[in-house]
Structure 1
Amino acid sequence: MDKVTRILLLYSKLIQGEEINKTIFCFENEYSPRSFDRDIDAIRLFLSDTFSMSELTYDRTKNTYSIPGTQNVKLGIMEYFFLEKILKDTAILRRDELETLTEHLLSNTERSKLIHNIKKNWKEDYKNPVHNKALLKIYGDLVTAIYSRKRIMIRYFKADSEEVKREVIPCLLKYDRGYIYLIAYLTEEEYEYPAYYRLDRIDSFVIMADQTKIQQEKVQHFREKYSKGITQMYAGEFKEILVRCKKEYVPYVLDKFKDAEEIERGESASTIRIFAFEEGFVKWMLGQPAEMIHIKSPESTKNKLIEEALKIVKRNEGKYE
């Protein structure tokens, strides 16, 4: 057996979740333990060079190699329908990408033949997003850049179609109201907070260099302190905000703001502490029922909310051009 065939055979068994016993594998495939060791090293190097999340492990007690987490456990039918529902209703993906993704899910689902006829019904009704861009490939490439701690240069089109290039330090990718955003710091600026870039407006990007230790610490600080306070992809100053909301509205607010804390509970209403970027929080508040929630503090956030509400009133009265 030639080297390429040996490595492919070994790798295919590993990614299918098999535990490979060195002695048995060498005997069955008629090659030496030394060749086996070289092939294992080649697979380890491949996983490292491709920034794979998978890790090749060795169990001394069994003399076996495996890649944990690769066991092929099929989805249940209800698990498939749950994932399909989320993908359809968020409508992030172009139809061809959605079909490909759901087909992959379906191929790993129990009793998948029962679902095929149902699946045909929604494909014709699914509406592509207006941008009509393919997203899966660039999403995957950006995830790799984030996990491998790279600086990147993005080619980006603003809302007015102006093309710009930005060298950035990517922090994370986040979904919000029908779009996925890249959240990243500008490399040459010392802003405390990052910028947001809609994924469908990123035409392409290239790797520039590894992040410095200071840049890596900045990304980590953002993830730990600020990432849960992002609301509707607007920035502004990061603030502690107190709101008062009706008892039945508390679970919704706590689900929306993952670091929120109920600090005072009354019979019919509670006070909740929220840490969030102010501009995004104000935009979110404008869409909430006034009888359910209001801002207690700070005054600056209250005033911003009032200013924005007055703009809406004037616009609808025809007082703005």
Structure 2
Amino acid sequence: MDNTKQERLLEIFFRCLRGESLSVQKLADEYDLSTKSISRNINDLKAFLADHRELVGNTELVYSSQERSYHLYMDEFLTNKELFSLIEVMIGARVFSREELLTLTNKLKGFTTASDRPILNDLIKKELYHYSEVKHDCDSVQETLWKLAKCITEKREITIEYYRADRAWKTHRLRPASVMFTDNYFYLIAFNTEGTTDKPLYFRVDRIKYITEHRKFFTTSDAPEFDEGLLRQRSLFMWPGKLRTIQFEFTGSAIQAVLDKLPTAKIIERNGRTYTVEADVYGDGIKMWLLSQGWRVKVTAPEDFVEEMKKEIRRMKENYDI
């Protein structure tokens, strides 16, 4: 096969990868060749894909009689409906800057079919226009995440310069353990290098302004093993605190929303529309969520947590003339 033909086949293939639908007639006009020559090129590509399934998987060039063109079908890649779902999740999360979101969205849209791309554009254009990102202190969430991920993999100690929730500027030397996403934010979970070294600390990635990577590495024995899945089940809003089993009564029709919010929750009793729920939770984030449910929730156990809720409600009452 001559070099010119090889280059043409590669170019046609990469155009398919970018999501283009390719018409034999248009390709013939572009390359100043006969339609028969282009058809032979298409057949060569189809034969290559069929003969090398161990490399490309179930990938083939499919002809659409309606569009009179070929497009690339990849069984293991994302379908149009999957792409739409992912883009909707990214928009709803609000975690990326507008520029990052548009870049990611445009790359994903490149893999939709030519016929479905206008539909996708129409579905998301208003959401993209009104997109409001979570405000960031770091220059790029993606860059910061990737730097943290590499340090976690290498088990490299780092120092972060960080804005706390009260906007106080703090410096921490850490052993990074994991990154997680929940409730609109990415979080770094890490352990101190000095003092209390076995207690996990949570830092919002978007508030990390600078990261210094040190030459010192740590081992598994230096930092406790960390179960991200268990933390995700038990912790709300990534607030620190102890693990405890709580019980509360919930009155209303949205009990499924409660169970969805608290993965460890289970109904232990029901009396009409009042459900007694038990859950294992970390930290004080659960208190914020329970208070947000208003009169629908009454905490019943443990006693120290009941007292915490009463104290918080009394403080709330002082804010109003009741």
The answer to whether the superposition gives a TM-score over 0.5 is: yes
After TM superposition, give the deviation of residue 86 of structure 1 in Å: 1.9
The one-letter code matched in structure 1 to 2:240 is A
Give the match for residue 220 of structure 2.
213
Counterparts in 2 of 1:87 and 1:316: CA distance versus 1, 3 Å: farther
After TM superposition, give the deviation of residue 259 of structure 1 in Å: 2.3
Q: Does 1:89 align with 2:92?
A: yes
Most deviating of 148-157 and 278-287: 148-157
Give the match for residue 295 of structure 1.
299
Quick one: distance in 1 between partners of 2:167 and 2:294?
A: 35
| Contact residue 257 and residue 274 of structure 1 kept, 8 A | yes
After TM superposition, give the deviation of residue 262 of structure 1 in Å: 3.0
Pick from 107, 110, 121 the counterpart of residue 110 of structure 2. Answer: 107
After TM superposition, give the deviation of residue 314 of structure 1 in Å: 1.4
Give the match for residue 141 of structure 2.
135
Quick one: distance in 1 between partners of 2:314 and 2:58?
A: 54
Q: Structure 1: where are the runs of 5+ without partners?
A: 1-8, 17-61
Quick one: distance in 1 between partners of 2:81 and 2:321?
A: 49
The one-letter code matched in structure 1 to 2:175 is I
Most deviating of 244-253 and 294-303: 244-253
Counterparts in 2 of 1:288 and 1:193: CA distance versus 1, 3 Å: farther
Counterparts in 2 of 1:294 and 1:150: CA distance versus 1, 3 Å: farther
Counterparts in 2 of 1:120 and 1:224: CA distance versus 1, 3 Å: closer
Quick one: distance in 1 between partners of 2:288 and 2:124?
A: 37
Quick one: distance in 2 between partners of 1:69 and 1:138?
A: 35
Quick one: distance in 2 between partners of 1:151 and 1:166?
A: 11
Counterparts in 2 of 1:80 and 1:181: CA distance versus 1, 3 Å: same
Give the match for residue 254 of structure 1.
259
After TM superposition, give the deviation of residue 142 of structure 1 in Å: 1.8
The one-letter code matched in structure 1 to 2:170 is V
After TM superposition, give the deviation of residue 304 of structure 1 in Å: 0.9
Q: 1:152-167 alignment to 2 at 5 Å?
A: 152-167=158-173
| Contact residue 171 and residue 223 of structure 1 kept, 8 A | no
The secondary structure found in structure 1 opposite 2:286 is helix
Pick from 145, 157, 173 the counterpart of residue 179 of structure 2. Answer: 173
The one-letter code matched in structure 1 to 2:247 is L
Quick one: distance in 1 between partners of 2:280 and 2:76?
A: 40
1:229-279 per-position Cα deviation (integer Å, ceiling 9, x unaligned): 111222222211122224734322222122223333455443322111241
Counterparts in 2 of 1:261 and 1:123: CA distance versus 1, 3 Å: closer
Q: Structure 2: where are the runs of 5+ without partners?
A: 1-9, 18-50, 60-73
Pick from 267, 278, 287 the counterpart of residue 282 of structure 1. Answer: 287
1:84-118 per-position Cα deviation (integer Å, ceiling 9, x unaligned): 22222222211101101111221223433442354
The one-letter code matched in structure 1 to 2:106 is E
Q: CA RMSD in A?
A: 3.4
Give the match for residue 20 of structure 2.
none
Quick one: distance in 2 between partners of 1:268 and 1:120?
A: 42
The one-letter code matched in structure 2 to 1:154 is I
Counterparts in 2 of 1:173 and 1:224: CA distance versus 1, 3 Å: closer
Q: 1:18-57 alignment to 2 at 5 Å?
A: none
Quick one: distance in 1 between partners of 2:144 and 2:261?
A: 28
Most deviating of 259-268 and 104-113: 259-268
Q: 1:59-78 alignment to 2 at 5 Å?
A: 73-78=76-81
The secondary structure found in structure 2 opposite 1:219 is coil
The one-letter code matched in structure 1 to 2:108 is L
Give the match for residue 307 of structure 1.
311
TM-score, length of structure 1 as denominator length? 0.68
Quick one: distance in 1 between partners of 2:286 and 2:124?
A: 38
Quick one: distance in 2 between partners of 1:92 and 1:119?
A: 17
| Contact residue 295 and residue 302 of structure 1 kept, 8 A | yes
After TM superposition, give the deviation of residue 301 of structure 1 in Å: 0.7
Counterparts in 2 of 1:301 and 1:84: CA distance versus 1, 3 Å: same
The one-letter code matched in structure 1 to 2:319 is R
